[in-house]
Amino acid sequence: MNTIQKNLYQLLCEIDELCKSQDIQYFLAGGTALGVVRNHRFLPWDDDMDLYITRDNWAKLRDAVESGKVELPPNRELVYAENTPYYSNPIPRYVDTSTTAIYSSQMLPGRACGQHVEFLIMDPMPNEEQEKAEFLKNLRMYTELISPYFVVNKSLSIEDFREHAKEYKKLYAVAEKESLNAVLKDLDAKLHSCVESESKEMCMRWGIQTLIYQHADFGKSRPELFEGRMFPVGEHAEGILRDAYGDSWMYVPEVEDQVVHNALQDIEIPYEEYTKRYQPYVDKEKMLQSYRKNKNNSLSVFCLRREREKLAVEAQALIIRDTIKNELEEKLDDIRDNYNAKAYGAVRNIYRDYTQNQMNQYARKYNVYYNISDECMYYILMTAIQQGRYFEAQKYLNIRKQNEPLSEKLLEVQELIDYCRDLSIAIYDYDDVDRIKELLREAKSEWKELLDYGRAELWLNDRLAESELDWQQQKTRAEKWNQIYPEDGEVMAYLAESELKLGEKEKAEDLYNRAIHLTRNGIIWEKAKESVGLERIEEEYDLRK
């Protein structure tokens, strides 16, 4: 842990003790839960901490503090919209006032500006689709109205945002005539009208991104080791992580994809030493009105900006779309030859212009479509699948489905992607031996040479092996798959484990060391640590120094 993480960990320990004393249930959330489930520690780059808590449990915590039933430690505050003027945030914070972590959106209230742990409040959702749509509409309006500093719901489509902005201005006019608190209170009542025990899904009250989870995934919580101490995660935390981070949740992102937060951080100086330098000179009410006026103006021009941005992306696509398509058609023989030779890196190089443009964030944001032939699409999909990246293939296929019906050949690829995903869920989310047995039996003959099939077969026999003969057979099996996929760290890790079980510790250490540098699968990294003491995650920490 770095110094920021050590302080956050201390705050978590305090919250844990407080919640235990009042029979309050919470769960580790976000990147905190991700680090715990993968490697039982902080993500190396993590500089904040999130907890899930249901609306009812949050009310118990808030009431216990407000009533004096529990006393917070020195230099601690529980900050939320109802007890802090100008704190325009639906997410409460447990704050260390002896430190500093100032975000631009919290400069005006000047209170929740120390190192903090955030409580992500979960509300039960209606089960009926029409009522669910109304719930999400109210949620978006609540989060938009409560925040004067920036446009919250930017991820909506242009058409949906136009309706959202119209409704916002209508409700804001009511708020100006009556009061903003009255409007927010009315929306809050609508959002908290479902009975938790009857709801199948829970929604996090955030707004920037609509995060919906299966209620059953939280359950009664389960303890997980986190930096040497047990803390609660959802009963089916892996399912929560899959909902939040996608099918590749078990993989540690490359450094350039690791998200850090932009805040003024100081672990040694109280935030008041900073805020007192500007707070006395700020007319907060006047500044708040300026923020709201600016936001109203931003809402008015937001769609125009988005439409202009969309036109620019479409214009670029119009210029290069046919060139990309024709170049791929001309190289189709090379694509086939490289694919059949398992030279998947070479195939990816041929597709580079296509992938960079089709998967560009703006092309995806505005559904700008780069049409290529079914055969060209087939090879980019199968290349991803052959490399154990079915989730990447699914992204390409989703774009295709949004723009045209899938051919019979591509429907077969979709079936294969679904199969690979089922394998992943059975292994990582449920540790389900019987389900993997069933899926391996169901596999079509042409699927049995795929990397994900091999990984599943090795996973199953790793779970079932007991005798020396079992491990010798597992070693033979792993050697076969390692010959087919010599650069796959996950396959190599199974070979390493079989060598270890057969008493070949030196070979196992060498294989594990190679394996953890061929994969970014955090579960494999943790297995190498448990089996032979190799700390791959430490290298990620070193990169942050």
The CATH number of the domain holding residue 61 is: 3.30.460
- Asked if 489 contacts 514 with a C-beta cutoff of 8 angstroms, the reply is yes
Residues 6+ apart with CB under 8 A from 309: 362, 366
pLDDT digits (tens, 9 = 90+) for 117-137: 999 999 999 999 999 999 999
Structural domain contains residue 425: no
> For residues 254 and 239, what is the distance between their CA atoms, to the nearest angstrom?
23
Residue 207: predicted pLDDT: 65
Which residues are 100's β-sheet partners?
Answer: 266
Strand 76-79 to 93-96 pairing: antiparallel
Q: Mark whether 315 and 278 lie in a shared domain.
A: no
Q: Mark whether 213 and 343 lie in a shared domain.
A: no
Query: What domain count does the chain have?
Result: 4
Structural domain contains residue 329: yes
Q: Mark whether 259 and 380 lie in a shared domain.
A: no
Q: Which of 338, 351, 399 is nearest to 371 (CA)?
A: 399
Structural domain contains residue 15: yes
Instruction: Report the percent of the chain where pLDDT is more than 90.
Output: 78
Structural domain contains residue 301: no
Residues 6+ apart with CB under 8 A from 204: 52, 120, 121, 122, 123, 211, 212, 213
Structural domain contains residue 51: yes
Q: Mark whether 347 and 492 lie in a shared domain.
A: no
pLDDT higher than threshold 80 for residue 352 = yes
Residue 105: predicted pLDDT: 80
- Asked if 177 contacts 119 with a C-beta cutoff of 8 angstroms, the reply is no
User: Which CATH number is 445's domain given?
Assistant: 1.25.40.10
For residue 542, what pLDDT band results from cuts at 50, 70 and 90? Answer: confident
For residue 545, what pLDDT band results from cuts at 50, 70 and 90? Answer: low
Structural domain contains residue 61: yes
- Asked if 219 contacts 235 with a C-beta cutoff of 8 angstroms, the reply is yes
> For residues 431 and 408, what is the distance between their CA atoms, to the nearest angstrom?
33
Amino acid at 51: L
pLDDT digits (tens, 9 = 90+) for 453-463: 999 999 999 99
Residues 6+ apart with CB under 8 A from 289: none
Structural domain contains residue 209: yes
Structural domain contains residue 410: no
Residues 6+ apart with CB under 8 A from 458: 474, 477, 478, 481, 491, 494
Q: Mark whether 537 and 458 lie in a shared domain.
A: yes
CA 456 to chain centre: 24
CA distances from 387 to 4, 333, 471 (A): 37, 21, 26
Give the mean pLDDT of 413-438.
97
For residue 408, what pLDDT band results from cuts at 50, 70 and 90? Answer: very high
Q: Mark whether 219 and 110 lie in a shared domain.
A: yes
Q: Mark whether 164 and 228 lie in a shared domain.
A: no
Q: Mark whether 188 and 203 lie in a shared domain.
A: no
Q: Mark whether 209 and 187 lie in a shared domain.
A: no
For residue 90, what pLDDT band results from cuts at 50, 70 and 90? Answer: confident
Judged by average pLDDT, the poorest of 107-111, 194-198, 204-208, 249-253 is 204-208
Q: Mark whether 350 and 486 lie in a shared domain.
A: no
Q: Is this structure's pTM higher than 0.95?
A: no
Instruction: Look up the domain containing 349 and give its range.
Output: 308-398
Q: Mark whether 166 and 116 lie in a shared domain.
A: no
Q: Mark whether 23 and 168 lie in a shared domain.
A: no
Strand 50-54 to 115-124 pairing: parallel
- Asked if 139 contacts 205 with a C-beta cutoff of 8 angstroms, the reply is yes
482, two tokens:
């390692």
| Listed residues 148, 176, 193: the one ending a domain | 193
Give the mean pLDDT of 54-64.
94
- Asked if 263 contacts 105 with a C-beta cutoff of 8 angstroms, the reply is no
Compare 461 and 85 and report the one with higher pLDDT: 461
Q: Report the largest interatomic distance among the alpha carbons of the chain, rounded to a whole angstrom.
A: 80
Residue 487: predicted pLDDT: 93
